[in-house]
Amino acid sequence: MTSSAVNDSVRDGLETERDELRRRLDELTSDGAAAPDFDENFADSAQVAAELGENLSLAAALRDQLVDVEGALARLDDGTYGRCQECGDAISQARLEAMPATPFCIAHA
């Protein structure tokens, strides 16, 4: 397999992951848009607030992943994909297969 064919399959995987992350973020943010009514019942409101807090931290984690995935796609475009952003060394194939969006080699993870 040529390296460009490898990159094409990596790109497909990353684009699929990016779309999935965006879809989940959309769901989370539209749920969060339903503002809880704090006057109705304090206990329920506390529960709603707790769930909103969980959604916010989940959304933050999803956004971090999305940044990594978009960064990896950008590196595919500029030809630096598979290089550590810290030291510039090649990231091992096994590591890239496990974490296609990783910007760092094992030493800089």
Q: What is the Cα–Cα distance from 4 to 80, expressed in whole angstroms?
A: 13
Residue ranges in 10-69 that form contacts with Zn ion under rule CB under 5 A: none
Give the nearest distance from C-beta 88 to Zn ion in angstroms: 7
The residue of the chain with the least Cβ separation from Zn ion equals: 84
Check if the beta carbon of residue 88 is closer than 8 Å to that of residue 108: no
x/- letters, 78..107, toward Zn ion (CB under 5 A): ------x-xx-----------------x--
- Any residues with CB less than 8 A from the CB of 76 and at least 6 apart, and which? 7, 10, 11, 14
Q: In whole angstroms, how close is the CB of 81 to Zn ion at the nearest point?
A: 14
